[in-house]
Chain A
Amino acid sequence: MVDKGQVISLCRSLLWAGRQYPDYNIREYAKRRTLDGFLMNKNLTDHSKVEDAYAEGKKQLEVVERVVKVYLAYPPKTKNIMELKLQ
Chain B
Amino acid sequence: MASKAIFSTLRRSLTKPNRAVSRRHHLSTSSAATASEPYAGDEHAIVMKGVRISGRPLYLDMQSTTPLDPRVFDAMNASSIYDYGNPHSRTHLYGWEAENAVEVARIQVAKLIGASPKEIVFLSGATEANNTVVKGVMHFYKDKKRHVITTQTEHKCVLDSCRHLQQEGFEVTYLPVRTDGLVDLEMLREAIRPDTGLVSVMAVNNEIGVVQPMEEIGRICKEHKVPFHTDAAQAIGKIPVDVEKWNVSFMSMSGHKIYGPKGIGAMYVRRRPRVRLEPLMNGGGQERGLRSGTLATQQVVGFGVACELAMKEMEYDEKWIKRLQERLLNGVREKLDGVVVNGSLESRYAGNLNLSFAYVEGESLLMGLKEVAVSSGSACTSASLEPSYVLRALGVDEDMAHTSIRFGIGRFTTEEEIDKAVELTVKQVEKLREMSPLYEMVKEGIDIKNIQWSQH
Contact = CB atoms under 8 A, between A and B. Distances in A.
28 contacts: A23-B67, A25-B59, A25-B67, A25-B414, A25-B417, A26-B67, A26-B70, A29-B411, A29-B412, A29-B414, A63-B74, A67-B70, A67-B71, A67-B73, A71-B70, A78-B46, A79-B55, A79-B56, A81-B53, A81-B56, A81-B58, A81-B420, A82-B414, A82-B417, A82-B420, A84-B44, A84-B54, A85-B420
Contacts of B59: 25
Interface in B369-416: 371, 411-414, 416
B371 A70 contact: no
Nearest to B67: A25
Given A25-B417, A67-B73, A81-B420, 5 more contacts: A25-B59, A63-B74, A64-B70, A82-B58, A82-B414
A71 B70 CA distance: 9
A51 interface: no
Contacts of A67: 70-71, 73-74
Contacts of A70: 73, 77
Interface residues of A, number: 25
Instruction: Give the interface SS of chain B, mostly helix, strand, loop or mixed.
Output: mixed
Nearest to B54: A84
A53 to B, nearest CB: 13
A85 B46 CA distance: 15
* Interface size class of chain B, counting residues whose CB lies under 8 Å from the partner chain: 20 to 34
A6 interface: no
Contacts of A28: 412, 414
B77 to A, nearest CB: 7
B371 A82 contact: no
Instruction: Give the interface SS of chain A, mostly helix, strand, loop or mixed.
Output: helix
Interface string B53-77: 1111111000000010011011001
B453 interface: no
Nearest to B44: A79
A78 B70 contact: no
A48 interface: no
Contacts of A66: 74
Give the one of A60, A67, A80, A81 with max B CB within 10 A.
Answer: A81
B316 interface: yes
A21 B67 CA distance: 14
Given A63-B74, A67-B70, A71-B70, A83 B55 contact: yes
Interface in B397-456: 411-414, 416-417, 420
A78 B413 CA distance: 19
A34 to B, nearest CB: 12
A32 B416 CA distance: 13
B44 A78 contact: yes
A70 B67 CA distance: 16
A9 to B, nearest CB: 22
A25 to B, nearest CB: 4
A83 B44 CA distance: 11
A85 to B, nearest CB: 8
Contacts of A80: 55-56, 58
